[in-house]
Amino acid sequence: MHRNHKPAYAARTARLASCALLATAAALVGCERGSSDGADETATGPSGCPAVHARAQAAVTRAERTDIPWGGPTGGPAAVSGKTIVYVAQTMTNPGVAGAAKGVREAARVIGWDVRVIDGGGTPAGIQAAMSEAVALRPAGIVIGGFDPDSTAQQAARANAQGIPLIGWHAVPEPGPSRQPDLFTNVTTRVQDVARISAQWIISDSDGRAGVVVITDASIPFARNKSDLIRKELAACSGVRLLSVENIPIPDASSRTPREISSLLSRFQNRWTHSVAINDLYFADAAPAFRAAGEKGSGPPFNIGAGDGDPSAFQRINSEQYQAATVPEPLTLQGWQIVDEFNRAFAGRPASGYTAPIHIATAGNSEGASTWDPSGYQEAYRKIWGK
């Protein structure tokens, strides 16, 4: 059930009042790690963006609802039996990739298929080797788990030539079928929606006055596109300042994030009020640096993950330990969707066209949950498959 979040919002606003609130909008131009857009200038005068702020508040209120009915498919082919699929993971240290793989395994047990997971280890060579191994196994289908199919173009072409359908999870920016690269479908929320609501949460939470750090992995086109969209949405509010964009590759997050956070705290001090990262895992690695600097777990800075909503993110949010919100992927649901999409491919049917709606999880609406797992999908898919 949706809760009234006004008390939490008011408390954050009060805490923010003690910060040096920032007035002049930054021109959001191509800054990367260690760069800033006029962030050392002194902000003066009134700030905020009343109209943008009002729209952001309304959007956030909708996204925080937890009573969303199932809006996915209710019809489709019955279970095709005796299939084996391979899930090629960008890296299983990425909680989103691992969470979707868990959902695939769970759904495969229900539908009666075998699943093999091959970990690419987060490196181009490792991912290419994993895809080569997957194609050599000649499975019924292959999942592109969180990496750009163009980085394994030769292996993907071999799979296509052999008639092995490829389904992406966060493999290309848009959900649904793809011709170039050739994917039966791509399972993801809409990156535009995730980026927009992440930025709107900051605008809403700060009353249109924030100093923001964005954390991304520019080596992944999907992630870089997401952070670019976040920056564009933040720019709509004249009271928001982009302090810095930190480019930290996900495989290097554990070693580099603490150093970067310490440096940012030193540079920006109380001008830094909010952060948004393309993946929650950065805040797991940031927490020790915040703690060592004496920052309160409840913020500021108030941190939101623009994906993926893994259990450790929910734990940080619910215990107010250096993360205030996440825009979680319904990872288990998406794993079930991947299995259902393969079943449609094997039956010669088109993709379902379903895209999960966006959601914001906070301590106020998660009710102690460790994942975002909306209701209705398991029953719907079981009924479709006859299981």
Q: Could you tell me what percent of the chain has a pLDDT over 70?
A: 88
Q: What are phi and psi of 275, to 5 degrees?
A: -135, 150
* Percent of the chain at pLDDT exceeding 90: 78
> What's the mean pLDDT in 267-296?
95
The answer, yes or no, to whether residue 29 has pLDDT greater than 60, is no
- The model's pLDDT over 85-127, given as tens digits with 9 standing for 90+, comes to 999 999 998 888 999 999 999 999 999 999 999 999 999 999 9
Name the pLDDT band for 134 (thresholds 50, 70, 90).
very high
Report residue 377: phi and psi, to 5°.
-75, -40
pLDDT score for 310: 85
Which tens digits make up the pLDDT trace of 236-261? 999 999 999 999 998 899 999 999 99
Q: What is the mean pLDDT of the chain?
A: 88
Name the more confident of 174 and 142. 142
**How confident is the model at residue 201, as a pLDDT?**
98
Residue 13 scores a pLDDT above 90: no
**Average pLDDT of 263-271?**
96
- Whether 10 has a pLDDT exceeding 80, the answer reads no
Question: In the prediction, which pLDDT does 150 show?
Answer: 92
Question: Contact at 8 Å (CB) between 217 and 223?
Answer: yes
Sheet with 141-145, edge to edge strand ranges: 114-119, 84-89, 141-145, 166-169, 185-187
Q: What is the pLDDT of residues 299-333, one digit of tens each?
A: 999 999 998 888 999 999 999 999 999 999 999 99
CA 383 to CA 387: how far, in whole Å?
A: 6
Read off the pLDDT of each residue in 159-171 and give the average, rounded to a whole number: 96
Contacts of 1 (CB under 8 A, 6+ apart): 66, 67
In this structure, are residues 280 and 326 in contact, taking their beta carbons and an 8 Å threshold?
yes
Mean pLDDT of 172-188: 93
Q: Of residues 355 and 35, which shows the higher confidence score?
A: 355
pLDDT at 39: 39
pLDDT at 27: 34
pLDDT at position 157 over 60: yes
pLDDT of residue 47: 53
pTM for the full model? 0.79
Quick: pLDDT tens for 38-65.
333 333 334 589 999 999 999 999 999 9
